[in-house]
Amino acid sequence: MTKLSVNINKVATLRNSRGGDVPNLLKVAKDLQFFGAEGITVHPRPDQRHIRYSDARELPAVVTTEYNIEGNPIPEFMDLVLSIKPTQVTLVPDAEDAITSNAGWDTIANASFLKDTIARFKVEGIRTSIFVDPNLEMIEAAVATGTDRIELYTEAFAHHYPVNKEKAIAPYRDAAILANKLGLGINAGHDLSLDNIAFFAQEIPGLLEVSIGHALMSESLYLGFETVVQRYLSHLAK
């Protein structure tokens, strides 16, 4: 079965917007696992606008499932991951000022860099994954980097799914078939949601893990509004 790793960046964004420690990131991570999440994902960025490096260092105390740290392997990120030794590191080629990840690696142009970087993580026993578009050439070249897995960048699928789901899934299905043949594990993430996740998971052979943050947090807000409003009303009626 495909594992669900929950990205908690948006929880940190909400906390940071007011200062203080509400919502408490560690409690949220602990509760998400209690509710069934099979992993916790964070994506610290250089400006620490959501997940802070200190958060990343504190989370191992409560993560009892799998801990996945995503990010661009700049020196500070490398040092962070090597000091924590999470279950998995996912390498993402995002610019320092990127709002969110928006492209996969060029595994040909960056082959030497990725190979050297991945080797440093693997010697420490950290499972590695690299963010890639559903491009067969890039997936084939990913093998030479030594990565354990690829993470398929699914924004294009999510964007086209409402219009033509068969056309949207086709390149991802082909990418997965090739990855399986090459012995690469398959993860996926970006804009997957309750609307499209079932179809995606059914159509991607060998899908090991999905990392979902923004949609899951947004859906959780809306699905929980009724309960919270009713609780406030009940307190006010006393």
Active site residues: 43, 70, 190
CA distance linking residue 192 with residue 89, whole number of Å: 20
Angle, nearest 10°, between helix axes 75-84 and 111-122? Answer: 20
Using the Cα atoms of residue 116, residue 93, residue 9 and residue 150 in order, give the sign of their dihedral. Answer: negative
CA distance linking residue 201 with residue 189, whole number of Å: 11
Q: Which residues are CB-contacts of 132 (< 8 A; sequence separation ≥ 6)? A: 104, 105, 107, 138, 139, 142, 150, 151, 152, 153, 175
| CA 129 from centroid of its chain's CA atoms | 10
Asked if 132 contacts 138 with a C-beta cutoff of 8 angstroms, the reply is: yes
Cis peptide before 23 (omega within 30 of 0): yes
SS3 of residue 66 by DSSP: coil
Instruction: Let me know the angle formed at the C-alpha of 191 by 189 and 196, rounded to the nearest 5 degrees.
Output: 95
Asked if 90 contacts 187 with a C-beta cutoff of 8 angstroms, the reply is: yes
Where helices occur in the chain by DSSP H, the ranges are 9-18, 25-34, 53-58, 75-84, 111-122, 136-142, 155-160, 165-182, 197-203, 214-236
